[in-house]
Amino acid sequence: MEFVENSIGRLVPTEIDGRKLKPFKGAFAFKPKKRRSAFALEFAAREKLLPSIKDAIEAVGFENGMTISFHHHLREGDYVLNMVLDIIAKMGFKDITLAASSLFNSQSEHLIKYIKEGVIT
């Protein structure tokens, strides 16, 4: 059996059960030979990026009593939740459920304000 050194200096086999193997040389050592693409979207002709958060809220048909959620990686210093809540409040929505996997101090003033105003229930 033949062995070669990989990127961290270990000797690894060049073949296992008749299958030829390439040792790991680093994340960008090999250029892919095949081109891969995603499946076509049903509404591919329609642009999914909108000019503003308000336009996105209108496009989804947002209504009173609906639920909004934010990914937990939006943490301290990220004000996406605050921006969205400001726009939802300005648009006059009420009784919104916030389904958040985590909330942070940077959001607390907005959350308290909008709970008191009935925007968030």
What are 10-43's pLDDT values in tens digits? 999 999 999 998 888 887 777 767 666 666 656 5
Residue 48 domain flag? no
The verdict on 112 and 57 lying in the same domain is yes
**Residue 67 vs residue 105, higher pLDDT:** 67
Range of the domain at 96: 53-116
The verdict on 72 and 98 lying in the same domain is yes
**pLDDT for res 46:** 61
CA R_g for the chain: 25
Number of domains in the chain: 2
The verdict on 27 and 62 lying in the same domain is no
Confirm if 11 and 4 have CB atoms less than 8 A apart: yes
**pLDDT for res 40:** 60
Confirm if 90 and 66 have CB atoms less than 8 A apart: no
**In this predicted model, what pLDDT tens digit does every residue of 77-120 receive, in sequence order?**
678 889 999 999 999 999 999 998 888 888 888 899 999 999 99
